[in-house]
């Protein structure tokens, strides 16, 4: 974006005093021709720039002119680079843009502040994946993010577990990442809904503006959604034991149901109902053994008998 490049250019001149067009182009990762166009634009805007030819020449701000474009203290710069490091926004699809912006800001910081910022960039690494689970970006995360940022309605082709994909037109309010899984909070039919982005098969951003409730707070709305789910799930809390040789496939699929850490191979899972728990776990009998509640074990046994009857070879 040209605006942030112009800001970075002025910051570079402010910090380094005088720089040649090739040096500026190298720092900003653009062509020398682009830098010269940007310098002409700044001159037209009235910025006190001048150029000096010959050895040791270059572009500079007139009489050490100072423009307070960042005002970052060393502590502020260190905190910014600490939390906005290489993996902080992992999975959202803007990693390269964040790295580029940080590089430009880093180049413009005064030497002492720059050193502390460089130290902060390598101090923290955020791995968004849970154990046994890859942190792949859902294919439709890009258009969903675009709709949220642009404030546009979006058509989702969404597939609930065990159901055929269906078209839903929603007002996207915000994205939430939990345990490496992305969720969309959106309005539909006057209600707040939660959609798992990995279950979106197609997404089309519309021109119609998003109808967002006044005073909507994403963090608060997510906390209420999580609290509501836990309240509904208390009757279907299931304890399972991982079988010997179980792969990470089960944890990858069951991550959204996992409650708390796995201790001695035993995990606690929550489901909207006992029927939903049995239907889900029936497909993973080689991975886990259900320990409790008894009602879910009975449902699984009943499902097993019906499957055996339906698929038994003819006599």
CB 35 within 8 A of CB 25: yes
Distances (CA, A) of 294 to 238, 263, 267, 283, 305: 10, 21, 16, 18, 17
146 and 212 both lie in a single domain: yes
Between CA 259 and CA 246 the distance in angstroms is 19
Domain range for 83: 74-121
pLDDT at 194 over 70: yes
Give me the mean pLDDT over the 179-201 stretch.
88
Q: What is the pLDDT of residues 262-313, one digit of tens each?
A: 888 888 888 878 888 898 898 888 888 999 999 999 999 998 898 888 888 8
CATH code of 207's domain: 2.30.30.520
**pTM of the predicted model as reported, rounded to 2 decimal places:** 0.50
Domain-located, residue 183: yes
Domain-located, residue 225: no
| Burial class of residue 77 in the structure, from the number of CB atoms within 10 Å of its CB (0-12 exposed, 13-18 middle, 19+ buried) | buried
Query: Considering the chain, what percentage of its residues have pLDDT values greater than 70?
Result: 71
Domain-located, residue 221: no
Instruction: Specify the DSSP class assigned to residue 272.
Output: S
Q: According to the model, what pLDDT value does residue 171 have? A: 95
249 and 305 both lie in a single domain: yes
Top-ranked range on mean pLDDT: pick from 106-110, 135-139, 237-241: 237-241
236 and 209 both lie in a single domain: no
60 and 78 both lie in a single domain: no
Q: Where are the alpha helices (DSSP H) in the chain?
A: 2-16, 21-28, 32-44, 74-83, 95-108, 111-121, 141-150, 218-233, 249-254, 274-281, 294-311
236 and 284 both lie in a single domain: yes
pLDDT at 132 over 70: no
Domain-located, residue 42: yes
For helices 95-108 and 111-121, give the axis angle rounded to 10 degrees.
150
Split at pLDDT 50, 70, 90, the class of 129 is: low
Number of domains in the chain: 4
278 and 306 both lie in a single domain: yes
Q: What is the pLDDT of residues 206-230, one digit of tens each?
A: 999 999 888 888 888 888 887 766 5
Split at pLDDT 50, 70, 90, the class of 136 is: low
Higher pLDDT, 117 or 148: 148
Half-sphere exposure of 35 (CA within 13 A, CB side): 21
194 and 244 both lie in a single domain: no
CA 28 from chain centre, in angstroms, equals 26
Domain-located, residue 203: yes
Between CA 223 and CA 144 the distance in angstroms is 21
Domain-located, residue 136: no
CB 173 within 8 A of CB 148: yes
Q: What is the distance between the terminal CA atoms of the chain, rounded to a whole angstrom?
A: 72
Domain-located, residue 283: yes
CATH code of 26's domain: 1.10.10.10
Q: Where are the alpha helices (DSSP H) in 122-267?
A: 141-150, 218-233, 249-254
For helices 95-108 and 2-16, give the axis angle rounded to 10 degrees.
30
Domain-located, residue 251: yes
List % helix, strand, coil for the chain (3-state, nearest 5).
Answer: 45, 25, 30
96 and 53 both lie in a single domain: no
Q: Output phi, psi for 262, to 5 deg.
A: -90, 120
Give me the mean pLDDT over the 19-38 stretch.
86
């Amino acid at each position: 974006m040209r605006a942030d490049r112009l800001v970075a250019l002025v910051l570079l001149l402010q910090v380094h005093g005088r720089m040649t067009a090739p040096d500026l182009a190298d720092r900003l990762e653009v062509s020398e021709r682009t830098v010269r166009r940007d310098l002409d634009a700044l001159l037209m805007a009235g910025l006190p720039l001048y150029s000096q030819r010959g050895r040791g020449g270059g572009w500079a701000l007139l009489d050490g002119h100072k423009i307070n474009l960042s005002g970052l203290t060393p502590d502020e710069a260190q905190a910014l680079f600490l939390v906005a490091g290489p993996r902080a926004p992992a999975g959202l699809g803007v990693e390269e843009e964040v790295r580029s912006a940080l590089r430009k800001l880093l180049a413009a910081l005064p030497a002492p502040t720059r050193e502390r910022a460089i130290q902060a960039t390598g101090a923290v690494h955020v791995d968004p994946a849970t154990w046994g689970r890859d942190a792949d970006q859902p294919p439709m995360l890009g258009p969903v993010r675009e709709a949220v940022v642009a404030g546009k309605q979006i058509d989702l082709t969404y597939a609930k577990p065990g159901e055929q994909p269906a078209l839903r037109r929603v007002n996207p309010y915000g994205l939430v990442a939990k345990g490496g899984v992305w969720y969309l909070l959106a309005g539909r039919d006057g209600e707040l809904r939660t959609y798992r982005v990995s279950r979106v098969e197609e997404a089309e951003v519309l021109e119609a503006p998003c109808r967002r409730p006044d005073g909507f707070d994403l963090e608060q709305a997510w906390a209420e959604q999580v609290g509501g789910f836990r309240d509904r799930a208390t009757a279907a809390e299931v304890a399972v034991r991982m079988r010997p040789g179980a792969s990470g496939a089960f944890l990858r699929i069951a991550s959204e149901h996992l409650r708390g850490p796995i201790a001695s191979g035993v995990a606690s899972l929550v489901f909207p109902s006992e029927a939903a728990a049995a239907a889900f776990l029936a497909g993973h009998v080689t991975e886990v053994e259900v320990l409790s509640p008894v009602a879910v074990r009975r449902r699984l046994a009943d499902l097993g008998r019906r499957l055996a009857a339906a698929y038994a070879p003819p006599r």
